[in-house]
Amino acid sequence: MAKMTFSGGIHPFDGKDMSKDIPIKEITPKSDLVYPLSQHIGAPAKAIVAKGDRVLAGQRIAEAEGFVSSHIYSAVSGTVKAIEERRVLTGNSVLSIVVENDGQYEAVPAWPVKPLEEMTGEEIIERVKEAGIVGMGGAGFPTHVKLSVKEPSKIDYVIVNGAECEPYLTSDYRKMVEEPENLIAGLKVYLKLFPYSLGIIAIEDNKPDCIKIFKALTKEEPRITVKTLKTKYPQGSERQLIFAVTGRELNSKLLPADVGCVVNNVDTVNSVANAIYRGLPLLRRIVTVTGDCIKNPRNFSVPIGTLYSDLVEEAGGFRKEPVKIISGGPMMGFCMFGLDVPITKTASALLCLSEDDISKAEPSACINCGRCVEACPSRLVPKILSDHAENFNEEEFLCGHGLECVECGCCSFVCPAKRPLTQNIKSMRKILLAKKKR
């Protein structure tokens, strides 16, 4: 069987065994729920409730401000306790709606639905917007914007990103194994929007059971195919995934739609299915809680707004004191300052580790081994880019195509001299991208 991939990449310890065989557990949060008004790319949403208001589960509490923005819904019933600045996982403070959970889960009725065949493209996009769905793989780009392609007939491929290449993460895997039909139903919504497209469910070969399930379920679906990807990090990165399954190349100036592709992650496609077939807004997401410090690692279906501390409690607490706490995976996640911050629409995992290999490592001089070049999936020369970044040499950094870096961390991972390559390149990119925006 041909396995699709890209050049470069690495094979880190995957740590998935800790949580991959345990079914998803739905949790009911114990503390207040916190909804930052900015948990997506674009303009922050605007609160439409006030302190003291009673809200119901599924009620909209913040309205999208403009096209590139997203509505926010309360996942519980209760009272708006405050609208105030609250810390989020990056350490910044963001204006947030705090809901005191009354434990009743009194809900607003679901929206009326109609058969997919009878819906127009505009109706589908409007419902996705109404549901407050954003890219749940980490990007947080509003999904209705992604779907509003100028020429839908020019989309050739709708790719469901089932690679889940980040070590330790198993939330997509569990969702694919437990509810494959929902994912296929969600993909059909996209296929309705893009009439000449082929649906591809792309899964790494470390999930053979998943591949088998989807192949069996899509046997009679002429517009859906399952592609087996070679297990390699960062196989799930948008550019690498598109290249692996279609052979089309993307750079920092192009969007997937420019090369005829739309890519969505598993939880996003599931949320689209929930909105279209069940009339539900985005209220929950799947989060992997794992690492050697967690007593009972597993995946949880978590109401958005739940505090990370509640998740640790649900997973049995700590078996030992963590030295490093990460939101997301070890390669591209954020180091956390504390657990009193909320799960947002884009939070995929909580990883608690007793070792911090990176901060222990003492960087030394480059030995010109070339390993960073071999590992770079963007075919860059990380060592040189990192030197330019350290010297704030913007021109040379741009000449070396520094903006094409996908910040995957492969170069730092393989560097025997433990040079902070990704860190340097990332900082320089941040400065240059901010300048470009201005």
CA distances from 163 to 10, 96, 211, 286, 302 (A): 14, 33, 11, 16, 22
- Map the footprint of ligand SF4 across residues 406-425, applying CB under 6 A: 406-411, 414-417, 419, 421-422, 425
Shortest Å, Cβ 197 to ligand SF4:
28
Residue given tokens 């070396």 in the structure block: 400
Q: Which is nearer to ligand SF4, 40 or 419 (CB)?
A: 419
Work out the burial of residue 156: count CB atoms within 10 Å of its CB; fewer than 13 is exposed, 13-18 middle, 19 or more buried. Answer: middle
Out of 201, 294, 339, 380, which residue is the one contacting ligand SF4 (CB under 6 A)?
380
Backbone phi, then psi, for 126, in 5-degree steps? Answer: -65, -40
- Map the footprint of ligand SF4 across residues 356-375, applying CB under 6 A: 366-372, 375
Distance CA 309, CA 324 (A): 15
CA 224, 230, 236, 238 torsion-angle sign: negative
User: By CB under 6 A, which span of 103-111, 133-141, 146-154, 379-387 interacts with ligand SF4?
Assistant: 379-387
Q: Which is nearer to ligand SF4, 241 or 283 (CB)?
A: 241
Shortest Å, Cβ 18 to ligand SF4:
26
Q: Which is nearer to ligand SF4, 6 or 168 (CB)?
A: 6
**What is the end-to-end Cα distance of the chain in Å, rounded?**
48
CA 267, 272, 273, 279 torsion-angle sign: positive
Interface pattern 311-350 for ligand SF4 (x via CB under 6 A): ----------------------------------------
Q: Which is nearer to ligand SF4, 302 or 414 (CB)?
A: 414
Interface pattern 389-408 for ligand SF4 (x via CB under 6 A): ----------------xxxx
Shortest Å, Cβ 247 to ligand SF4:
20
Query: In the beta sheet, which residues pair with residue 157?
Result: 198, 261
Out of 242, 383, 397, 428, which residue is the one contacting ligand SF4 (CB under 6 A)?
383
Contacts 24+ apart (CB under 8 A), 239-244: 239/377, 239/378, 239/406, 240/6, 240/9, 240/377, 240/406, 241/159, 241/161, 241/163, 241/202, 242/159, 243/6, 244/4, 244/5, 244/6, 244/202
Q: Which is nearer to ligand SF4, 310 or 387 (CB)?
A: 387
Q: Strand, coil or helix: what is 288?
A: strand
Q: Which is nearer to ligand SF4, 160 or 372 (CB)?
A: 372
Q: Which is nearer to ligand SF4, 94 or 385 (CB)?
A: 385
Q: Given the rule CB under 6 A, which residues bind ligand SF4? A: 366-372, 375-378, 380, 382-383, 405-411, 414-417, 419, 421-422, 425
